[in-house]
Amino acid sequence: MKNKALCRFFPLALIVILACFCSASHAQTAPSNAQLASRAINDRVDALMKKMSLEDKIGQLVQYSYGSATGPDASHLSYEDLIARGQIGSLLNIHGSDEVNRLQHIAMEKSQLHIPLLFGLDVIHGMHTTFPVPIALASAWDPQLIRSVAHTAAVESRAEGVPWVFSPMVDIARDPRWGRIVESAGEDPYLGSVLARAYVEGYQQDDLSKPDSVAVSVKHFAAYGAAIAGRDYNATDMSDVMLRQVYLPPYHAAVAAGAATVMSSFNSINGVPASANPYTLTQILRREWGFDGFVVSDWGAVSELLNHSIGADGSTVARKAIEAGVDMDMEGGLYGTTLAAQVRAGTIPESVIDEATRRILRVKFALGLFDHPYIAPTPAYVATPEKRAEARKAADETIVLLKNDSVEGVGNVLPLKKSVKTVALIGPLADSQQDMLGSWGALGNPRDAVTLRQALSKRLGSRLLYARGVTILKGENETYLEKFLGQPTSPAWDNANGIASAVATAKKADVVVMALGESAVGMTGEASSRAHLSLPGDQEQLLEAVAATGKPVVLVMFTGRPSEIPWAAGHIPAIVQAWFPGIEAGDAVADVLFGDVNPGAKLTTSFPRAVGQEPLYYAQLPTGRPAHGNLNHFPANSEEKYMSRYLDVNNSAQFPFGWGLSYTSFRFSDPTLSQSEISLASLKPGDAAKVNVSFTVTNSGSRAGTEVAQLYIRNTSASVEQPVRELKGFARVTLQPGESRTVTLPLGFDELSFWNAQSRQVVEPTTYKIFVGDSSLADRATSLIVR
């Protein structure tokens, strides 16, 4: 028995020792949210806590989804009974004044302590007004756009009685096989951090009590986007250096911006489940970052700890979760049924329950729920011209022009001439309202969505020809669509005949627009990992058949992830990455196709040549045998063979991070530095930047356009290998033809530091190569010496 007890204690002891070591290595940070830390709120919390029984406290830690049987089955009571007894602190998937106020009245009038419920919902890219999916929004490289979208979502959420949104998702995603890459900002920690901060600012408005603000839940903490093989819910395994330098920065940025709550993730990190991980949830999140909000588990993540094999029963895993730092159990059914007995048995100190309860109550007080628990009658949503204009502007900014080659007799295929006689629109996504909303559409209504067919019909009338061509999936896969997506799949549809009809339609047109991709719901988002990234079903066959007509083809890709499209990249003259653009999808794509909008978006994820390259990202670590040049052929000699390369495909991305074309052209000058050498002693955490990098961007084309000027660095001599390039600054610059502007971007400790082998953030004596340009291929360069 003693040996068994020692073995059970030993892993925990290691974690505690590691936490103590790290706390000596990392400075304690001040509270992350001044409002939650305010004396006024904490005094009210303390006064309420004195009246609470153990059961009252545990009730605040329990969250159920209204309509699911989890809660009542666990206690043999209805939700209403549980609320009246104070045994539920939060509900998700409830909205609208009728239901919100009905349940809130039970909490405020029938429960002993009159503690309001906290209602939450997955509001990912809009509540009613559905904006482009997050990976698309990130492609704008525009923090102000993110703030605006988040604020609109906050206003609409509050009107529905939802003061808490499970957003933003700030997971770094470097493997597009993972379906939830659609919810991310992509592969880069610097850009991800900038946008994470913007989301929090837009949602929370720096004051949770405002009627137009909501509390965020930053997710999924931590490293959920690094699931092995891109398979959702899978384990992650990485060094502490990789965790801290690549995957943690966006979460940290969101916490520093005042995030009220954080959601723990499903995955394990180096063998320890993230929802029972004291190193990430307590040591890093609370001690190092000063987070003073509360942590909610993802759906059922506490009960799923049993599947992770870290406990033999529900009581054990619930204890591990709450002691690690998970304050609220979402749909796990374990906190409410197992914690009280463990506290009374002395297994869990009551102080642990007290602290979790206190954190949740602080957020409720900060949101003003105790003072204003009810909401005004929820008006029926109308997609007004003003809301449509905002959604269209967002979509216009997020569409990436991947390719725009010249065709003999036509010139550049895009923009289409408004005088074009006949346009053939072909593809299964040309007229699908549901798909235009993307996954996680909250309360978005597909009937509000404008499809590309509808938009082009308004512009072209009878000059538009249309053919569906094929279904997205085929054969037995169509039953998957029907079962899981709730979409009728026209089982009688014959793809072979559809392709023949599409080819006949293309032959009648002057130019062909093809709307291809993947289904938004079910093929992207949660539980939607894909082993193949090529066009699903018979879409590739359709594309090649139409291209064989010799007509100029514009490929419009509606997807939630980077795709593997090597044939299209080599044979189709114009390719537009539209993502899932929201309710104004069709009009926004038409804006770009006809040149009413000059595209300025840039990729935030690398597009592979082959799925075998994944995970593929620009910030690769160096190797002792780097592959030089464009090695598209089989190696001819040993000098070419024995290097870090594939035999059958180039190492590089088909379309790299930061890539995006325009209808005009831009020219960059060489960068200059405010000082070319800097002392190591002058670079300290929190200090203002010490070096300014300046360069000129000129619109050398014939029309106005927006360029995203990007700055990358390479540390050439570090104690730990550093990536061949890292983004460390960017600026959106809108210029008229012939206009030039000087861009100045700062470099300081935050930009120049890295995490060393001792898990310390440091700057060392070295030389940095600094690159500026329009993508991660930027070639205008200079050097900075740190002595």
In the 8-state DSSP scheme, what is residue 536? Answer: P
> What's the first-to-final CA gap in the chain, in angstroms?
58
> Which pair of structure tokens corresponds to residue 344?
């009374």
Question: Distance between CA 758 and CA 761 in Å, rounded?
Answer: 9
* Number of helices and strands in the chain (H, E): 26, 29
Q: Are the CB atoms for 491 and 468 separated by under 8 Å?
A: no
> In this structure, how many other beta carbons lie within 10 angstroms of the beta carbon of residue 719?
13
Give whole-number Cα distances, 308 to 70, 303, 319, 471, in Å.
Answer: 21, 10, 15, 39
- Give the containing element (helix H, strand E) for 139: none
Report residue 25 as tokens. 């290595």
Q: What tokens were used for 215?
A: 């509390």
Rounded-to-integer distance, Cα 501 and Cα 531, Å: 31
Query: How many angstroms separate the CA atoms of 286 and 32, rounded?
Result: 9
Q: What is the 3-state secondary structure (H, E, C) of 359-408?
A: HHHHHHHHCCCCCCCCCCCCCCCCCCHHHHHHHHHHHHHHCEEEEECEEC
CA angle 710, 712, 716 (to 5 degrees): 170
| Contacts of 125 by beta carbon, 8 Å cutoff, 6+ apart | 131, 132, 133, 134, 137, 149, 153, 438, 440, 441, 442, 582
Q: Residue 298 catalytic?
A: yes
Q: What is the CA radius of gyration of the chain?
A: 27
Q: How many CA atoms lie within 13 A of 717 on its CB side?
A: 9
Contact between residue 295 and residue 281 where contact means Cβ atoms under 8 Å apart: yes
The b-or-e profile of 304-321 (16+ CB within 10 A means b, else e) is bbeebebbeebbbbbbbb
CA distances from 110 to 58, 61, 84, 371, 456 (A): 18, 19, 5, 17, 56
Which of 122, 298, 435, 591 does the annotation list as catalytic?
A: 298
Is the Cβ–Cβ distance between 599 and 578 less than 8 Å?
A: no
Distances in Å between the alpha carbon of 175 and those of 2, 38, 567, 605, 710? 45, 41, 21, 9, 23
Measured on CA atoms in the order 388, 390, 391, 396, is the torsion positive or negative?
A: positive
Catalogue the active-site residues: 298
